[in-house]
Structure 1
Amino acid sequence: MRQAEHAPQAFQTAWNSHDMESLGALFHEDATFVNRFGHYVRGVAAIIEMHAPIHATIYSDSTLENELIDVVAIHDDAAVVHFWSRLTVGTAHPAGPHAVDTLILAVLTRKAGTWRIQALENVTLTNPRTGEAILRDSRGL
């Protein structure tokens, strides 16, 4: 990535290609990833290992649509990026076709002119009273 604000589109493109090597290339070798279920892994190999089986099965027909919220520069070579992400899954998912919205926080750093993700956390939007997943359109977000 040539700029930190390219992260949402790059993540979306890698996800939608279902090429986990491409997804892994967005991260620094020692990066951390917390998925929407709170599963924490460290390192590109572990990030790929976490995603490859679901892209071969329940997310094989999934797509992501990401939307940049903001970029907060914390140094010339470091930034925090927030973006909305809508995961749409198809018939490969046991629950059938549906959509899930999440909010992603990514910390990116630039080394040798290239921005990569150092840490990423993905949080599912839910109703705090019921735990039911909600779509951000229904909240006016």
Structure 2
Amino acid sequence: MTPMSKPEDAPEAFQTAWNAHDMAAFGAMFHEDAAFVNRFGHYVRGVDEIVALHRPIHETIYRDSTLDNELIEVIAIADGAAILHFWSRLSTGPAHPAGPHQVDTLIQAVITRRNGTWRIQALENVTLTNPRTGEAVLRR
């Protein structure tokens, strides 16, 4: 796992675990009681559920996918707590039923420090789409 020694390390840690398709490293980024909302609005709670949501797609349609994350901002809200926003570009490969393509999302995450360790407490991922047509929009 890419260690998170400060909140702004989260986008890179998320990207590294995803790109390695390493579900142990992916799960290690989250507190045991974390909440996760994927880009389709599927809500799960707890690190085991977060990993269970991601493992099947990393074994199938996203097995050759990559993420490219870019930090937008870190908002400190208390000692040991911050809100992050970051862009995430998913590039799928031939394993995806729609073939290779890209999807941009905006991620909001709450990162907290417990016992000296920073982990994700809550994360929500929103697909960027045109609200009038539903067409996917890629950030520039």
Match of 2:79 in 1: 76
- Distance in 1 between the 2:135 and 2:57 partners? 22
Normalising by structure 1, what TM-score? 0.96
Alignment of 1:1-141 (within 5 A): 1-137=4-140
Report the alpha carbon displacement of residue 112 of structure 1 after superposing the two structures with TM: 1.4
What are the ranges of 5 or more consecutive residues in structure 2 without an aligned counterpart?
Answer: none
Report the alpha carbon displacement of residue 113 of structure 1 after superposing the two structures with TM: 1.3
- Distance in 1 between the 2:29 and 2:110 partners? 12
Letter matched to residue 19 of structure 1: D
Report the alpha carbon displacement of residue 37 of structure 1 after superposing the two structures with TM: 0.2
Render the CA deviation track for 1:37-58: whole Å, top value 9, x for unaligned. Answer: 0000000000000000000000
- Structure 1 segments of 4 or more deviating over 4 A? none
What are the ranges of 5 or more consecutive residues in structure 1 without an aligned counterpart?
Answer: none
Percent of counterpart pairs with the same letter? 74
Total equivalences in the alignment = 137
Secondary structure of the residue aligned to 1:136 is: coil
Normalising by structure 2, what TM-score? 0.97
Secondary structure of the residue aligned to 2:35 is: strand
CA RMSD in angstroms comes to 0.4
